[in-house]
Amino acid sequence: MTSTLERLSPWLFTIGLFVAWELVCRLAKVDPFIMPAPSQVFLAVGQYWRPLLRHSGVTLWTTMAGFALAVAFGVALGLVVGWSRAIYRGIYPVMIGFNSIPKVAVVPILVVWFGIGEIPAILTAFLISFFPIVVNVATGLATMEPELEDVLRALGARKMDIMLKVGIPRAQPYLFGSLKVAITLAFVGAVVSETIAANAGLGFLMVQAGSNFQMPLVFAGLLGLAVEGIAMYAVFAAIERRMTRWAFRSSMSAGT
Amino acid sequence: MSAFVELDKVSLAYRGASGEVLALRDTSLKVAKGEFAAVVGPSGCGKSTLMKLVTGLVAPTAGTVGVAGARVTGPVKLAGMAFQNPSLLPWRSVIDNVLLPLEIVEPHRGRFRAERKRYAAAAGALLGTVGLDGFGHRFPWELSGGMQQRVSLCRALIHEPALLMLDEPFAALDAFTREELWCVLRDLWQKIGFTVILVTHDLREAAFLADTIHVMSARPGRIVATRRVDLARPRDLSVCFEPAFVDIVHDLRGRIAEVRQG
């Protein structure tokens, strides 16, 4: 009984949210220009599904491209940073500083360098999402049990052996955990860049619709963003579960 | 006669949070080949430092450490180690955990891939001798603490090391499991005949298992007394209730009380 309810509850909650939104709009007679009701938003989705789909596709592609760069670069840098304490200490302040810069501020620079279009979106997605990957991979490596390292070093293991046999497998749950955070960040980065400087993508669509006073279409764009965000998160959460089943299981029996 | 493990006036200082800390001072220790030696002492006396010195993980500030007739200058590569925490790899099955040292240490490392079957059979047999027959394909988190510690012992022994270093391996176990594992260790040692240095704070454990017990002083640590245990082998758990055994434990307790005061 509980399990059925638990399975259904996310759907029930989402539907409930839309119903509440609809009711507020109707009962308070909110001007659809200020806040369109869900029914109007869904109507706009039906009306403009072609452009919505096309622009969603562009956003999806720029997000995934930026994310792929972030994974490649983030894992590599994470391995380097986690390799030794000296590198870790040296590079960390720079990374914190870099991460503190709001990426909106970087978009104009990227536009100057690469022009308006997909490349600034891809790079913004990359810049905003690589940090959690680096930190997680480095943490996974740095929190290795010292006893285990002693066991292997006493056998004559080189640093590389310890990394391959222990460090990298150990960092995997951290890596896959960070991916689902990174993908949503990459998405945010891509959309931010699109709203500022692009000629395609959901962010661009929403800015255009807004300047044409088509509020239902703006909200349809938001809806599209939310759906895409949830879908990407779900994909990477599923990958995480598949790849690092041992981490979920072993933490469940950590009492022994 | 030259000892298998020999520490000659070894001192070790390291930089701690509050300046220089002297962990060991003029420690001398000899362990013969095939001997079961135990090191007991108050907590924080540098027993674990001793382990790292013998295995070559840290270099002494003064004095020399020798193992198997050669001076130790780097990791000795012929030692197996086990600690209080079994520290098994949760993503590897039990048998793959036991096989880990063979993937690292020469000459097994080079032929591991080709002769994996043979090595797996050896690991299975070793698991059998510690009472874990048929557990090879389980995962560490499916085992109890005592069973995990047995696996950890197997991992320390799979490459047939000449020297086994144990750092309070049974300290986290309940009393019954601990006594069970004493017997497991006793049987392994009698069967294979490696040299053991067991660091412990359990005096009964030291007296039951060891040939020789070294008592360490509080920090900076050094060996203040060495006592042979002449109880007949093979020893049964009932030996723990014999007067001779109780005398040894009493004597050790007295000495440790002395060094704690002084």
Phi/psi for B136 (5° steps) reads: -55, -35
Q: Do A256 and B77 touch (CB under 8 A)?
A: no
Q: Do B85 and A147 touch (CB under 8 A)?
A: yes
Residue A43 lies in a domain: yes
Strand partners, A68: none
Class of domain B5-261: alpha beta
Does A50 share its domain with A89? yes
Does A242 share its domain with A121? yes
* Torsion-angle region of B127 (φ positive above 0: left; ψ -120 to 50: alpha; else: beta): alpha
Residue B87 has pLDDT above 50, yes or no: yes
Strand partners, B11: B62
User: Which stretches of chain B sit within 8 Å of chain A by CB?
Assistant: 52, 55-57, 75-77, 79, 81-83, 85, 87, 89-91, 100-101, 103-106, 139-145, 148, 155-156, 159, 165
* Residue B48 CB partners (closer than 8 Å, separation 6+): B167, B199
Check residue A253 and give its pLDDT.
Answer: 40
Residue B255 has pLDDT above 80, yes or no: yes
Q: Is B10 helix (H, G, I), strand (E, B) or coil?
A: strand
From the list A156, A166, A169, the residue facing B75 with the nearest CB is: A156
CA distance B230 to chain A (A): 32
Check residue A2 and give its pLDDT.
Answer: 66
Q: How confident is the model at residue B256 (pLDDT cuts 50, 70, 90)?
A: confident
**Domain residue extents for chain B:** 5-261
From the list B77, B91, B145, the residue facing A246 with the nearest CB is: B91
Check residue A250 and give its pLDDT.
Answer: 60
pLDDT tens profile B53-70: 898 888 888 888 988 888
User: ipTM of the predicted structure?
Assistant: 0.77
Closest CA to A78 of A214, A6, A178, A152: A178
Does A151 share its domain with A241? yes
Radius of gyration of chain B, Cα coordinates, nearest whole angstrom: 19
Number of domains in chain A: 2
**Token pair in block for residue A43:** 């109507």
Check residue A249 and give its pLDDT.
Answer: 65
Q: What size, in residues, is chain A?
A: 256
Residue A145 lies in a domain: yes
Q: Give the separation between CA A65 and CA A71, rounded to whole angstroms.
A: 10
Strand partners, A209: none
Q: Which residues on B lie below 8 Å from A154 (Cβ)?
A: 55-57, 75-77, 79, 81, 165
- What is the end-to-end Cα distance of chain B in Å, rounded? 34
Phi/psi for B157 (5° steps) reads: -110, -10
Residue A99 lies in a domain: yes
Q: How far is CA B120 from CA A22, B91, B133, in A?
A: 65, 17, 13
pLDDT tens profile B70-84: 888 888 888 888 888
Residue A152 lies in a domain: yes
Q: Which residues on A lie below 8 Å from B87 (Cβ)?
A: 145, 147-148, 151
Does A61 share its domain with A126? yes
Amino acid at site A145:
E
Q: State the residue for tokens 């960092």.
A: A171
Does A210 share its domain with A102? yes
Q: State the residue for tokens 């005949």.
A: B193
**Token pair in block for residue A55:** 């622009």
Residue A98 lies in a domain: yes
* Torsion-angle region of B227 (φ positive above 0: left; ψ -120 to 50: alpha; else: beta): beta
From the list A148, A161, A244, the residue facing B87 with the nearest CB is: A148
Residue A255 lies in a domain: no
Closest CA to A81 of A131, A126, A125, A38: A131
Residue A254 lies in a domain: no
Q: Give the separation between CA B46 and CA B222, rounded to whole angstroms.
A: 8
Taking chain A (256 residues) in runs of 10, the rounded mean pLDDT of each run is 80 92 89 86 90 91 94 92 83 87 89 90 93 90 83 84 88 89 91 88 90 90 90 88 75 41
Instruction: Tell me the CATH number at A54.
Output: 1.10.3720.10
Q: How confident is the model at residue B27 (pLDDT cuts 50, 70, 90)?
A: confident
What is the pLDDT of chain B when averaged over all its residues?
Answer: 87
Check residue A252 and give its pLDDT.
Answer: 43
Residue A253 lies in a domain: no
Over residues B173-192, mean pLDDT? 90
Q: How far is CA A148 from CA A30, A250, B46, in A?
A: 64, 17, 19
Q: Do B79 and A156 touch (CB under 8 A)?
A: no
Alpha-helical runs (H) found in B87-227: 94-99, 108-111, 116-129, 145-157, 175-192, 203-209
pLDDT tens profile B229-244: 888 888 888 888 889 9
**Token pair in block for residue B152:** 């950890």
Q: Give the separation between CA B254 and CA B62, rounded to whole angstroms.
A: 30
- Domain containing residue A62: 37-248
Does A67 share its domain with A174? yes
CB A141 within 8 A of CB B61: no
CA distance A151 to chain B (A): 6
Check residue B17 and give its pLDDT.
Answer: 73
